Each structure stands twice: as structure tokens, then as C-alpha cells.
Chain A
Amino acid sequence: DAGVIQSPRHEVTEMGQEVTLRCKPISGHDYLFWYRQTMMRGLELLIYFNNNVPIDDSGMPEDRFSAKMPNASFSTLKIQPSEPRDSAVYFCASSYNQGGYNSPLHFGNGTRLTVT
């Protein structure tokens, strides 16, 4: 099991550019989560999917953020246009919930985004 795979590990971009973060969850997991971690705000849940369907996107900060899960093995988080305040570490996590939020999350190693 390769675990949750995120790419890229680091992304540096200029303000106004589009940024796409990618995630491959663990095979067989039915939930996928996107989190953002900053010193100021800690770990924030942005959006999560169940069986590829978005369940709750209330944590997405603005319309500049969008997430998709076209199939069970791939998800993207897109920021367009990016702003310096979007600089953070973005984590993807997956789990197999069996009907309840009682299973551990498996996290990727994150994408460190820097917007200049």
C-alpha cells in the first residue's frame, strides 16, 4: 500500500496564477478530505467527498477554490486566481468509513504552496 499520494510536494507561483493540487487516495477508501494547515488558523477542513460526490464544501474559503473527484482514484483542488494569503500546506486524506466517521484518516505528505 503506497498510502495517500499528493503532488506536487512544493509549489511556488505568482499571484493571479492558477494552481492545481492533486491527490490519489488509498485504493478502496470511500471518503476523501482536503485540509489546509497554516500557523494562524491551524488545520481546516475545506471539502470532503463520499464515493466521489462532494458532501460538504462549506470550508472552501471562496469561489476561487474548487475541488473535483472524477473517479475513485483521483481528486484535484484548484485555486484560480491564487493570492498570497492562500500560502499554506494543503493535505489530502482518505478513509474507509463503513457508514460512520469512526475510521482513522490516512494523510498524504501535503503540498506546500507559496504564492508570491
Chain B
Amino acid sequence: AQSVAQPEDQVNVAEGNPLTVKCTYSVSGNPYLFWYVQYPNRGLQFLLKYITGDNLVKGSYGFEAEFNKSQTSFHLKKPSALVSDSALYFCASRQLTFGSGTQLTVLP
């Protein structure tokens, strides 16, 4: 069975500090991994994706993620968090399997 796990329901980080939102996957074949962000009362918005090639992918709003095949992980990172980054983040494999979401709160 295909699955995506986000082990942390909530991540708090101070503004200006680096942030990491974790994601692991269990997928047969090419995982085609995505990160999406959801702001209140809105649909999910695409941030970045890994399909093949360079393991470090860069996306919107200064976010990046590193694909690690040996650890089956695809953690989302940003060097310096902003209060406006506070939102719900989802990791997904292909378009069919989503993680449970991680609420990121950036404290001023």
C-alpha cells in the first residue's frame, strides 16, 4: 500500500530561524513527491515537487526539499522562517496519497 507520513502534527519555530517539516513515504515505484501549503479557508497550493534528478529541489516562497531515497524522506525546509509562513503543510505522493498535514506556526 502507498503511504505518506508526516510525524509531527505541529511545528513551532521562531521567526528568522530555519524550519523543517518532515515527511516520509512508502511507495512502490517512482514516488513523485509534492509539498503543498494550505492557508485558512483556502485550497491547497503547490510549493514544489520531486520527480527525478537532483535530490535538492527548490520551490515557491524560498522553500526547498531534499529527496533522500535511503531514508525514504522528503523533508521541507526554509533557511529563515517568516510569520507569514504559518499555515498547514501537506506532503503527497503522486496525486493520490497525502500525509496528515503539519501545522507550522512561526512565532514573532
Q: Would you give the 0/1 interface string for A75-116, flagging 1 where the beta carbon is closer than 8 Å to chain B?
A: 000000000000000010101010011111111111000000
Q: Are B49 and A107 in contact (CB under 8 A)?
A: no
Q: Are A109 and B41 in contact (CB under 8 A)?
A: yes
Closest CB-CB distance, B89 to chain A, in whole Å? Answer: 12
Which of B30, B90, B94 has the most C-beta atoms of chain A within 10 angstroms of its own C-beta? Answer: B94
B42 CB contacts on chain A under 8 angstroms: 109-110
B96 CB contacts on chain A under 8 angstroms: 45, 48, 56, 101
Within 8 A of A (CB), among B59-108: 90, 94-101
A21 CB contacts on chain B under 8 angstroms: none
A107 CB contacts on chain B under 8 angstroms: 36, 43-45
Q: Are B46 and A104 in contact (CB under 8 A)?
A: yes
Count of B interface residues, CB-CB < 8 Å = 21
B residues contacting A by CB (< 8 A) are 30, 32, 34, 36, 41-46, 49, 51, 90, 94-101
A residues contacting B by CB (< 8 A) are 4, 31, 33, 42-43, 45, 48, 56, 91, 93, 95, 97, 100-110
- Interface Cβ pair total, 8 Å cutoff: 55
Q: Are B98 and A108 in contact (CB under 8 A)?
A: no
Q: Are B41 and A105 in contact (CB under 8 A)?
A: no
Closest CB-CB distance, A25 to chain B, in whole Å? Answer: 13
A31: nearest residue on chain B (CB-CB)?
Answer: B95
Contacts A93-B44, A107-B43, A107-B44 given; 5 further ones with Cβ under 8 A? A33-B95, A42-B101, A45-B98, A97-B95, A109-B42
